[in-house]
């Protein structure tokens, strides 16, 4: 296990996975099931999370926007990276891009934000290593992640009252 106080870069755990959408992934209209896409998203986000933590992780929250259908035969590229770290959790962004025309034409088909915690061998959450933010784009994503976190907190408070 690495030192939780040490900072790491976003690229230390960035993960890109590519696959091909097959008929077994899709309904009779040829559109890939949303649940299959969410499975792929959670899988690649978990890889990022495990690399960052150097241990087991748990998914705390998943938010995903489907922007356009993924179809049988599409090249699917999942790009995942950490947007922000907090004391005991962190957010991973996953972009689902589809390549039509044998992968040459690439478009954003969906985007998700997943929140994870690192867990120790007893299954208890532990402190998260912080990431360094190196560019204006990374800083913008970090600020947006913090805003989403605050909005989630406000929503929990509304639901509890």
pTM of the model: 0.91
Which structure tokens are listed for 98? Answer: 């589809």
Task: Please determine, for residue 153, whether its predicted confidence score (pLDDT) is greater than 70.
Answer: yes
Distance of CA 93 to the CA centre of its chain: 4
Task: Please state, rounded to an integer, the average pLDDT across all residues of the chain.
Answer: 93
Fold category of 8-160 in CATH: Thiol Ester Dehydrase; Chain A (3.10.129)
CA-CA distance, 68 to 106, in Å (whole number)?
12
Contact status, residue 150 vs residue 89, Cβ threshold 8 Å: no
Distance (Å, rounded) from C-alpha 157 to C-alpha 152?
Answer: 9
Map out the domains of the chain as residue ranges. 8-160
Judge whether residue 4 has pLDDT over 80: no
Tokens matching residue 54:
């150097």
Q: For the segment 25-67, what is each residue's pLDDT rounded down to a tens digit?
A: 999 999 999 999 999 999 999 999 999 999 999 999 999 999 9
State whether residue 22 is helix, strand or coil: coil
Q: What is the pLDDT of residue 103?
A: 66
Closest CA to 50 of 114, 133, 137, 142: 114
């Amino acid at each position: 296990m690495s030192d939780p106080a040490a900072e790491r870069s976003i690229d230390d755990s960035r993960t890109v996975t590519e696959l091909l959408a097959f008929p077994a992934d899709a309904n009779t209209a040829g559109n890939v099931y949303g649940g299959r896409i969410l499975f792929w998203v959670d899988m690649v986000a978990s890889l990022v999370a495990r690399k960052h933590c150097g241990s087991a992780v748990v998914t705390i929250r998943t938010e995903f926007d489907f922007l356009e259908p993924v179809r049988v035969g599409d090249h699917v590229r999942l790009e995942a990276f950490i947007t922000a770290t907090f004391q005991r959790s962190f957010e991973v962004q996953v972009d689902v891009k589809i390549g039509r025309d044998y992968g040459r034409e690439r478009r954003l088909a969906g985007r998700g934000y997943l929140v994870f915690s690192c867990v120790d061998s007893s299954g208890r959450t532990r402190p998260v290593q912080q990431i360094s933010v190196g560019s204006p784009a990374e800083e913008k994503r970090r600020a947006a992640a913090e805003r989403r976190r605050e909005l989630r907190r406000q929503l929990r408070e509304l639901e509890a009252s």
